[in-house]
Amino acid sequence: MERLTNRLLAAWIATIVVTISCLNKHMDEESRQFYTFGPNQSLVVFGLTVDTYSKYSVIVAYCFVNSLLRSAYRDILVAWQTNSVQDITKIKKPEIKWFAYEVSLVTTIYGWMDWYIYINLLLSQVDMILIEISSDLFMSFATTRYYLNTDPLVKPLEECLV
């Protein structure tokens, strides 16, 4: 089922890209400005016009770092929270309780702040989307590689019986 779902998503992505490419030919000049790359007068992020390469490089670096952190948030912290805290079949050790509350608070606040940043960046220009996708792919690949290459932690039999 996972393989089929993955292939359907890949086909849907290809359909979206082809559709947008075809529609781009029929857009007016104002609509086409969204599909430009690099600094220009129409690129406005958080109310600031990004019309120089120095401003643009700061925005690109910021996008890259935030996207890396977003992937870490999703693939590490939210996964830990789901598997270690929200799994009602597991016994929770007392020493994780304060950390669980900390993770819960930080992930909630970060989720909202990231959403606000993400929306502002994605609606500014198409190259911001490509930067976000590229950095997200990089971090997702790195995280997946880490988990695939890490040996499982096997608990001693005594711990399993407690």
Q: What is the pLDDT of residues 32-81, one digit of tens each?
A: 777 788 898 888 888 889 999 999 999 889 888 888 888 888 888 998 89
Locus of tokens 């992020």: 45
Residue 71 sits in the same domain as residue 20: no
Helix (H) or strand (E) holding 45, with range, is: strand 44-45
Q: How confident is the model at residue 8 (pLDDT cuts 50, 70, 90)?
A: very high
Total tally of structural domains belonging to the chain: 2
Assigned token pair, 154: 């096997």
Look at residues 17, 49, 14 and name the one whose alpha carbon lies nearest to residue 33.
49
For the segment 119-156, what is each residue's pLDDT rounded down to a tens digit? 888 878 888 888 888 888 888 888 889 889 988 777 65
One domain, residues 2 and 20 = yes
Residues 77, 138 within the same domain: yes
Question: Quick check: is 159 in a domain?
Answer: no
